[in-house]
Structure formats: structure tokens, C-alpha cells
Amino acid sequence: DRDVTGVQTCALPISLVRSRVLVVSASMGAGHDGAARELVRRLRAEGDEAEMRDFLLSAPMHVGALMKSSYEFQMKYLAWTYDITYRLCYRMPALCPPIGHLMARLTGHRLLEWAEEYRADVIVSTYPLTTVVLGHLRQRGQLDVATINFITDFGVHPLWTHPGIDLNLAVHARPAANAEAKSGRPAMASGPMVSPRFGAPHDRAATRSELGLAPT
């Protein structure tokens, strides 16, 4: 099906993958991991095999730990610099390919090892830097496994897409259309990858009481 934006939509992204799915996220905040965990849960519920890995563990010399601690420090004390970084990448997208090449040199070998060890039929990324590394490996013919980019944001950052990725999935038709235009690769709007625990509303007063919060 296609909606008014012309982007193909689907009910569940799990119909696009085969039996052994390697989902690579990053423990940079809860958003990427949350989507990855829910995807793994849905795949397993459908009878497929799925495993989640942390992209930060693919970098040598504790680079991943440094990235995580730097990000946490930045968001806690220098959040305004995060905004500047985003704006700079949007205005100067030529800065992004060198970042992708650097990350591919640092982490590409390990990602290839993960794919071989797990005997993955498909690899799904829920983190931008994972996406650019997988796209880089795919484009150069080093990775013969199909790759899917699951975009967790409504804004498609320049690092969120790569022309080497086989398929983009997005939470809404608009970012899907944006991803397809930027990457030249197919895109589908699958909806948010959210746990069913969030499907039913909770009583606000009861929840406040459970957490020991005042009514106000």
C-alpha cells in the first residue's frame, strides 16, 4: 500500500526479514535500544530467531565507552552543543561521509564478525552510525547480508541514511519519504516500534502513588 506521500506502508517490518535477524542498536540513551528490544520480541513471537547487539562494543580500545560517557556529559552539562552539532550536519552534510568512513574503519571488522558468527540472514540497524557502517560495508561488497535501517526519529539526520542500505523503515510516512529521497533506496513506513505495555493508559494518580510522588 502507498499513502498520500507515495511511500509504501506496511503493518509490521517483521514480514520483510528472514529467520535469523541480527539487530544492532547502541546504548546511547533508551530510544535506540527500546526499538531494538521490541523488534527482537516481535520477531521471536513470530517464530524467527533474533539477537540484539550493542554497536558501542564493536569499537576497539574502549572507543564505544568513551562515546557513551562523552554523550552523557554533553547532554547533562552542554546540551546546547548537541543542537549545534545537529545543525552543522544539516547545513554541511559533506561532513558526514568522513565520519562514516572513520567509523567503518573502527568497527567494520567487528560487525562482519558478528554477522558471520550469528549466521545472520539480515541485519537491522536502529542507530545512525551503525547504519552508515553497514551501508559502507554493503556498498563495497564486504557484506553479503541484506541490511535494513530502522529510523527511530521523525527527523532524518544526514547520518541516518546510506545508499548502500537495502531498505529503510521509518515510524511515519514523512520520514520514510525523506529517507528514500536522501538515500535513493526503498523506504516503508512501519509505524513506531513500541512495546505493547504502552498500548493501554495507566491511572495517573495510582502511578504517582506507586512511585512515591505527590499528587501535584
Question: Residue 28: pLDDT above 80?
Answer: yes
C-alpha cell at 168: 529503510
* pLDDT of 4: 45
Question: Residue 7: pLDDT above 70?
Answer: no
First-to-last CA distance in the chain? 46
* pLDDT of 200: 85
> What does the mean pLDDT of the chain come to?
89
* 63-77 and 79-91 helices, crossing angle to 10°: 110
Per 3-state DSSP, the chain is made up of helix, strand and coil in percentages (nearest 5) of: 55, 15, 30
Question: Residue 90: pLDDT above 60?
Answer: yes
**Which strands make up the sheet holding 146-151, listed edge to edge?**
8-9, 187-189, 167-170, 146-151, 122-125, 20-25, 49-54
Contact 9, 19 (CB under 8 A): no
Q: What is the pLDDT of residues 180-214, one digit of tens each?
A: 999 999 999 999 898 888 888 889 999 999 999 99
Question: Residue 16: pLDDT above 60?
Answer: no
C-alpha cell at 49: 530467531
The residue that leads in pLDDT, 6 or 173, is: 173
Rounded Cα–Cα distance for residues 55 and 216 (Å): 40
For the chain, how long is the longest CA-to-CA vector? 58
- Residue 141 — pLDDT band, cuts 50, 70, 90? very high
Global pTM value: 0.84
